[in-house]
Amino acid sequence: MPVVVDVLSEIAKNVAMSLPPVRAWRLRRPRAGVSYTGSIGELDRFAFLGLDLLTERVGPLAGRSVVEFGPGDLLTSGLAMLAAGAARYAAVDRFAGDYGGPEGRKWYTAIEASWPAKYPAVPWPAWLEADKFPHAYPDRVTSLELGVERVPDIGQFDIVCSFQVGEHVSDIAALANATKALMTRGGVAVHRVDFGPHGAWEKYRDPLTFLRLPDLAWRWMGSSRGTPNRRRVHEFVDAFQAAGLIVELHNLEVFESTRIDRSKLNRRFRAMPPESLRTRTALFVCRAS
């Protein structure tokens, strides 16, 4: 399909989302990953991925407090972190889902049921009952329906994290500043960012097709829809450093075979380092300097 057709169709979707009745209807509908079907890999992707990345990069969660930006429609990742021993968990998301509703209960009970096989060495805590999560645990679970740009003083946490969120945040300096502000002295932050194409732009053979579009067209396509901000990996590194954090990059996935034709890219991307343009996903591990 020619790029222009996708551009027009994305602009139409964005205009529709700017209409209050359409927006209200869309926000009531479940978003990515919310319907639990029991298929293989679903729990790994939507419940255990964050825990596994944290354990890999910062060690066991036992006794540590965690704040997660943008957990999504349900607190599946938070339940897994508490089951793994986290002392408390806070969620900060621009749009809170129906965390305690029936769909959530399906996910939470599936997490508890699959736990012994997935983590045989980590016993499920006796105090934690999946079908009472999260409402029965106000001392351990808090949630704020706010963007990271406006996080109030909610104390500090041993671990600040997010998974597939940084690319949707409109102000990455705010993400970096909130990370620093919420981190305990000696704490650590782990942010996984997906720099690849999303939605309509995933089907193109050249994965960087979405970086060709002018900023104005990109805004017309996404200003009401939380589409990716197209900020690149080195811009995140700069933002974390400007917030006073020391940054390490891990788990890099790159578009290896992509030949970058700079002349086709939007002017803003033409001078960027090739390794930054090529990065598909990255894990930022940040500590206070």
Ligand X SMILES: C[S@@+](CC[C@H](N)C(=O)[O-])C[C@H]1O[C@@H](n2cnc3c(N)ncnc32)[C@H](O)[C@@H]1O
Which residues in this chain contact ligand X in the complex, by CB under 6 A? Answer: 33, 46, 69-72, 92-95, 147-149, 163-165, 168-169, 226
- Minimum Å gap between C-beta 147 and ligand X is 4
Specify burial of residue 249 (Cβ count, 10 A radius: 0-12, 13-18, 19+). Answer: middle
Nearer to ligand X, 44 or 215 (CB): 44
Distances in whole angstroms, Cα of residue 137 to Cα of each of 53, 88, 182: 25, 9, 21
Nearer to ligand X, 79 or 265 (CB): 79
What six digits make up the tokens of 180?
A: 């620093």
Q: Angle between the 49-58 and 76-83 helix axes, to the nearest 10 degrees?
A: 50
Rounded distance, CA 80 to CA 48, Å?
A: 6
- Minimum Å gap between C-beta 2 and ligand X is 27
- Minimum Å gap between C-beta 95 and ligand X is 4
Nearer to ligand X, 147 or 207 (CB): 147
Nearer to ligand X, 3 or 199 (CB): 199
What six digits make up the tokens of 268?
A: 């803003």
List of residues 6+ apart from 225 with CB closer than 8 A: 13, 14, 17
Give the number of residues written for the chain: 289
The C-alpha angle 216, 219, 221, rounded to 5 degrees, equals: 115
- Minimum Å gap between C-beta 183 and ligand X is 16
Residue nearest to ligand X (CB): 70
Nearer to ligand X, 177 or 265 (CB): 177
Rounded distance, CA 175 to CA 51, Å?
A: 20
Nearer to ligand X, 243 or 265 (CB): 243
- Minimum Å gap between C-beta 49 and ligand X is 7
- Minimum Å gap between C-beta 242 and ligand X is 18
